[in-house]
Structure 1
Amino acid sequence: MSFAVTRTSRSFIAPCEATPRNSLGLSVIDRVPALRHMVRSLHVFTHGREPARVIREALSKALVKYYPFAGRFVDDPDGSGEVRVVCNGEGAWFVEAKTDCSLEDVKYLESPLMIPEDELLPKSSLDVPLMMQVTEFGGGGFVVGLIFAHTIADGLGAAQLINAVADIARGLPKPTVEPVWSREFITNPPKLPLGGPPVFPSFKLLYATIDLSAEHINHVKSRHLELTGQGCSTFDVAISRLWLSRTRAIDLDPGVDVHVCFAANTRHLLRQVLPPQGGYYGNCIYPMTASASSGRVASADLIDVISIIRDAKARLPDEFAKWAAGDFKDDPYEFTLTYNLLLVTDWTRLGFLDVDYGWGKPLHVIPFAWLDMMAIGIIGAPPAPQKGTRVTTHCVEKEHMQAFLEEMKGFA
């Protein structure tokens, strides 16, 4: 069956009050080439009364505080090649849409989607930092299609903004968290000599979703504690299982190194420079990489792979401090994108699952952070009230997909 989505309104939503008209510089992390892309996601809610109107009005109010999201990206006029945000109040792009079907008719957008994601997401433009589409379904449910520019905010920052919109939609006079720009507080270490332009490959990666039961996660945690005397997190278990399964599936030469890289939040390491009240929404992440030979990872027990991941996490404070001091040979933010590199991000702690526009939190959040130039896995949650962990991947090509799925499902 096909279900038609009709877009009924398209407009720029400007801040409802006057906001500063200025030009804002981005931090050295914001300007990382690998972050120059749009992050897309769908947020599924089962109830709502005139949600498009309510969210549109709340967005206009929230943009008074978060006015850079209503601006535009421009090249710095000094010829440096750096990008800045011109705060001109032009607004965020907002689309209203309707469909006659109910969320139940489309299985609450469980995978595989019965409505293509492009029908539920606004058409994107790279110079607009924020875009939203609210699609109202028959029976009262609605879906928020969100697109934001990674250059202006990391996942925590984007979720902070959307929660601010939700605060106002619920009737609060202002957002619970006061936003902070403060990009100048982010360390700007000495620059390395310019190399050649970054090379972005193009893979033919396929999409897959795998659920890990809470029972399995807890079993692995207990086994890890028993064998090592140390606890481990759900993230540790999920990322290790994903890396191990993918390494076995792509079956590289045993002597070839494989890498898994995850974006670690560094706000806690910058407490001395960031405002103490919080609210910083720029990119505040550091890429932590774990590496080992393909043969070592493929032959390892899951507990051993968890130890490799935990060792990498433990290095974060020292590595970040060295980077901030300029004590590095190679810029850690400028890694080479190859098929033996897996990027992983954790969406469970960003705050998107806490968004409440007045009718309850989302049933589930569906990420689409897919780019053909990088193999990626996203750690998330299955639709409520299910328990456990959902691993959404875009990380193997067709020839490796069957082996990958069998490995992911083959753990006891």
Structure 2
Amino acid sequence: MSFAVTRTSRSFVAPCEETPRGSLGLSFIDREPVFRYVVRSLHVFRHGREPARVIREALSKALVKYYPFAGRFADDPDGGGEVRVACTGEGVWFVEAKTDCSLEDVKHLGPPLVIPEDALLPMPSPELKPLDVPLMMQVTEFAGGGFVVGLIFVHTIADGIGLAQFLNAVAEIACGLPNPTVEPAWSREVIPNPPKLPPGGPPVFSSFKLLDTTADLSADHINHVKAQHLEITGQRCSTFDVAVSNLWQSRTRAINLDPGVDVHVCFFANTRHRLRQVLPPEGGYYGNCIYPITATASSGRIASAELIDVISIIRDAKARLPDEFAKWAAGDFKDDPYELSFTYSSLFVTYWTRLGLLDVDYGWGKPLHVIPFAYLDIMAIGIIGAPPAPQKGTRVMTHCVEKEHMQAFLEEMKGFA
């Protein structure tokens, strides 16, 4: 059964008051090419009353404080070749839509999606270049009062924590506050700016035919592994540690590389706590403030190891963060850590449950769940999130194996349910 989504309004939402004009420089991390892409996500809410109107009005007010989101990315006018934010006040591209079905009819957008995500995400007008617009939004109202906020944002403007900070600001205003409780801070100039390495050759990216799948790890399984890890090692591990280790081992077994071939898992760690001395003490920084951590081991070791041992490999990599980040900030590195290698032996993982996106409340309750689509065909990726409330446990959404390895991957992940 198919359900049609009708877009009823398309326009720019500009700040409701005059905002500064001019050009803002981005940080060293913001400008990294690895972040010059769009992230798409759906935020599913059980009910609301005229949510499109309420969110639109709150967005216009929030953009007064967060005016860079209303600007456009542009090349440095001085010819430096670096992208900047032109504070034009043009606004966020905003789409209103409706559908005759209820969220219950589409199983609250649980997998597999009954409505294609493209129908729930904002379609830009033809003259817009998506990589020039920091944020686009679509609010789709469902029969019975449910609604979905579809977002497309360019990672260059903010990391996941920064995006959540902005959305929570919109939500607070929607709930009646005159101003967000957290004052936004641009402060891109205080982020470390180590010397650039000499340019190498142009990067070469392979394109894979990766398939999507979703698997849930039960809370019982996660808690059992945590208890086992504590008993064996005397140390506590996190839900992230368990989930990423499950995923890395399952994928490594499924793709079945030669045992001597190295496999890698990479994830980004928040580094705001490493920059307390330079960032505003009251918080509010919403730019990219994350650093890549990579764990590497032979395929044979990961495939045959006990899960507790894989967790130890992940935790050892995380423990290197303070030293590696300090060296990078001081310019003491030979290779740019943000220049990542996209091969089939590499897995990239993002963690969406601790960003603050599940706390966004426009006045009618927090989202049932958030569905990310941070997928590119040049990288094998896994996204660790949460299943729809009130379900417990952890949801692992992947775009990480090709067709020939999918069945084996699904069987491996079943063992961790």
* Bin for the TM-score computed over the shorter chain: over 0.9
The amino acid of 2:3's aligned partner reads F
Given the alignment of the two structures, is residue 208 of structure 1 paired with residue 192 of structure 2, yes or no? no
Could you say which residue in structure 2 is the equivalent of 1:10? 10
In 1, Cα distance between equivalents of 2:91 and 2:33: 25
In 2, Cα distance between equivalents of 1:395 and 1:258: 13
Given the alignment of the two structures, is residue 272 of structure 1 paired with residue 277 of structure 2, yes or no? yes
The amino acid of 2:247's aligned partner reads L
Deviation sequence 1:12-35 (CA, Å, 0-9, x none): 000000000010111111111111
Deviation sequence 1:365-390 (CA, Å, 0-9, x none): 00000111111111100000001000
CA contact (8 A) 2:36 2:131 kept: no
In 1, Cα distance between equivalents of 2:249 and 2:351: 17
Could you say which residue in structure 2 is the equivalent of 1:369? 374
In 1, Cα distance between equivalents of 2:142 and 2:206: 39
| Secondary structure in structure 1 of the residue aligned to 2:287 | coil
In 2, Cα distance between equivalents of 1:345 and 1:15: 31
Could you say which residue in structure 2 is the equivalent of 1:244? 249
In 2, Cα distance between equivalents of 1:171 and 1:30: 32
| Secondary structure in structure 2 of the residue aligned to 1:39 | strand
Could you say which residue in structure 1 is the equivalent of 2:114? 114
TM-fit CA distance, 1:176: 1.3
The amino acid of 2:240's aligned partner reads F
The amino acid of 1:130's aligned partner reads L
| Secondary structure in structure 1 of the residue aligned to 2:41 | strand
| Secondary structure in structure 2 of the residue aligned to 1:52 | helix
In 2, Cα distance between equivalents of 1:178 and 1:204: 43
Given the alignment of the two structures, is residue 163 of structure 1 paired with residue 168 of structure 2, yes or no? yes
Moved over 4 A (4+): none
Could you say which residue in structure 2 is the equivalent of 1:83? 83
Given the alignment of the two structures, is residue 385 of structure 1 paired with residue 390 of structure 2, yes or no? yes
TM-fit CA distance, 1:218: 0.2
The within-5 A match list for 1:5-404 is 5-124=5-124, 125-404=130-409
| Secondary structure in structure 1 of the residue aligned to 2:303 | helix
Q: Which moved more, 1:123-132 or 1:89-98?
A: 123-132
Tell me how many residue pairs correspond in the alignment: 412
Any unmatched runs of 5+ in structure 2? 125-129
Any unmatched runs of 5+ in structure 1? none
In 1, Cα distance between equivalents of 2:122 and 2:206: 26
The amino acid of 1:297's aligned partner reads I
In 2, Cα distance between equivalents of 1:41 and 1:129: 14
The amino acid of 1:299's aligned partner reads S
| Secondary structure in structure 2 of the residue aligned to 1:126 | helix
CA contact (8 A) 2:217 2:416 kept: no
Could you say which residue in structure 1 is the equivalent of 2:127? none
TM-fit CA distance, 1:196: 1.4
TM-fit CA distance, 1:80: 2.1
CA RMSD in angstroms, aligned pairs only? 0.8
TM-fit CA distance, 1:236: 0.3
| Secondary structure in structure 1 of the residue aligned to 2:181 | coil
In 1, Cα distance between equivalents of 2:381 and 2:25: 29
| Secondary structure in structure 2 of the residue aligned to 1:136 | strand
TM-fit CA distance, 1:410: 1.5
TM-fit CA distance, 1:191: 1.1
The amino acid of 1:405's aligned partner reads L
TM-score w.r.t. the length of structure 2 is 0.98
The amino acid of 1:120's aligned partner reads L
| Secondary structure in structure 1 of the residue aligned to 2:370 | strand
Deviation sequence 1:233-252 (CA, Å, 0-9, x none): 00000000000000010111
Per the alignment, do residues 411 and 44 of structure 1 end up closer, same or farther by CA in structure 2, a change over 3 Å counting?
Answer: closer
CA contact (8 A) 2:40 2:153 kept: yes
In 1, Cα distance between equivalents of 2:349 and 2:21: 37
CA contact (8 A) 2:245 2:307 kept: yes
TM-fit CA distance, 1:41: 0.4
The amino acid of 2:406's aligned partner reads M
The amino acid of 2:172's aligned partner reads D
The amino acid of 2:266's aligned partner reads C
In 2, Cα distance between equivalents of 1:357 and 1:77: 38
Deviation sequence 1:313-336 (CA, Å, 0-9, x none): 111000000000111111100021
Deviation sequence 1:141-190 (CA, Å, 0-9, x none): 00000111101100000111111000000001101111111100000011
| Secondary structure in structure 1 of the residue aligned to 2:148 | strand
